[in-house]
Structure 1
Amino acid sequence: MRRTLDALYDGCAWLAAVAMIGVLVMVLLSVLGRQLAFHLPGTDAYAGYSMAAAGFLALAHTLKRGEHIRVTLLLGKLGGRARQGMELWSLSVAVLLAGLFAWFSVRLVLQSIEFHDISTGNDATPLWIPQLAMALGTLMLLVALLDEWVLEARGQRSHSQGQETHHE
């Protein structure tokens, strides 16, 4: 199961990297178009779609690598069962919020398909396509947070990941 979950997180990270390349390609096409006097409609919109996809698809992988910003002022003062209790409470709130975000993201995709919603720009992209990356990213974040919750409950979660280093 661990290998499967890690492969899913890594797969989303790779998709995020591809989306970042998409941003680069769209920006380069836009710049070249201005320099060489040609215009490709929709490059700005596709750069935006790619940037959003990169951000959402990277969420789970970033969490699992301990790179999300955490405020550990209170946690640093706690130890043992108190720390685990606070971690579980924090993760429970995060799971709830991620679950709501995932629910509404998936719902948005389904509504966009149902209503044949398209972008208002000249690209006229069916909006469910770029929204799909957001839905996948939020679903994977929910899975990653549930994974962290289970690891914490079992006492298997590493607390050294993403901790601040203090330099004197």
Structure 2
Amino acid sequence: MSDTHDIAGQTGPAMLFQRCVFALSQAAAVVAAVLVVGMVLHILLEIGLRLVDRSTFVLDEMVGYAIAGATFMSLGYAFEHCALVRVGLLVDRLSGRARRALETLCGVATLAVTSQIAWVIAKTAMRSFERGRTSSSIAEIPLWIPEAVCALGLGIFSLQVFAWILRQIFDLPGPVPPGSDDPLQNDL
């Protein structure tokens, strides 16, 4: 069963774009889940090593990078499933075209901010790569790796917000149908 199936008989370039962006968000969410599993495994390894007076000496650093990566990589998927905190004092009181117009305005503002932050982090990652910057720990992790993961996650989130803006403008259905069995369903 796939969340990217043809929804409500809608086809065409707009729906293809919606499905591709959502598939990308799903893939990023899988990466986020793998990072969380990696954190758990590293913590369990560290516990085992400390029982015999040993350590990897990089637990804090690796878990920090994994938390950042998992957070940023899951943003698009969480947004599509309405799992991000939103303040709906005004939006929730509107319906129809007025609600879609306000949602579009909020989406454009979100897109402007997130895409700018993604660009700045991507430039930082490129600069770190060019300069060969590494972390100051004994692991000497190339800093461009966690920076690039964060930039990629924000880029995917920005694409998901753009796809959502298009849905608001053209009144298209989303890739997560309302009433689906998904516990994080999109019921807008």
Normalising by structure 2, we get a TM-score of 0.81
Whose helix proportion is higher, 1 or 2? 1
Q: Quick one: distance in 2 between partners of 1:60 and 1:126?
A: 26
Q: Quick one: distance in 2 between partners of 1:34 and 1:58?
A: 31
**Aligned to 1:101, which of 100, 105, 117?**
117
1:140 CA drift (Å)? 0.2
Whether 1:35 aligns to 2:51 is: yes
Q: Which runs of 4 or more aligned residues in structure 1 lie more than 4 Å from their structure 2 counterparts after TM superposition?
A: none
Task: Write the deviation string for residues 91-131 of structure 1: whole angstroms up to 9, x where unpaired.
Answer: 01000011111111111110111111110112111101111
- Change in Cα spacing, 1:127 to 1:162, as seen in structure 2 (3 Å) is farther
**Aligned to 1:68, which of 68, 84, 104?**
84
Unaligned runs of 5+ in 1: 164-168
| Contact in 1 for aligned 2:22/2:160 (Cα 8 Å) | no
- 2:143 partner amino acid: L
CA RMSD of aligned residues (A): 1.8
1:137 CA drift (Å)? 0.2
Percent of aligned pairs sharing the same letter: 25
Higher mean C-alpha displacement, 40-49 vs 139-148: 40-49
**Aligned to 2:158, which of 142, 160, 167?**
142
Q: What secondary structure, in the 3-state scheme, does the structure 2 residue paired with 1:71 have?
A: coil
Normalising by structure 1, we get a TM-score of 0.90
Q: Quick one: distance in 2 between partners of 1:50 and 1:162?
A: 30
- Change in Cα spacing, 1:162 to 1:123, as seen in structure 2 (3 Å) is farther
Whether 1:151 aligns to 2:173 is: no
Whether 1:121 aligns to 2:126 is: no
Q: Quick one: distance in 2 between partners of 1:94 and 1:28?
A: 38
Unaligned runs of 5+ in 2: 1-15, 179-185
Whether 1:83 aligns to 2:132 is: no
Q: What secondary structure, in the 3-state scheme, does the structure 1 residue paired with 2:125 have?
A: helix
| Contact in 2 for aligned 1:26/1:44 (Cα 8 Å) | no
1:58 CA drift (Å)? 0.3
Task: Write the deviation string for residues 12-39 of structure 1: whole angstroms up to 9, x where unpaired.
Answer: 0100000001111121122112112112
- 1:38 partner amino acid: R
| Contact in 2 for aligned 1:67/1:162 (Cα 8 Å) | no
Higher mean C-alpha displacement, 129-138 vs 79-88: 79-88
1:162 CA drift (Å)? 6.0
Q: Quick one: distance in 1 between partners of 2:57 and 2:145?
A: 18
1:82 CA drift (Å)? 2.0
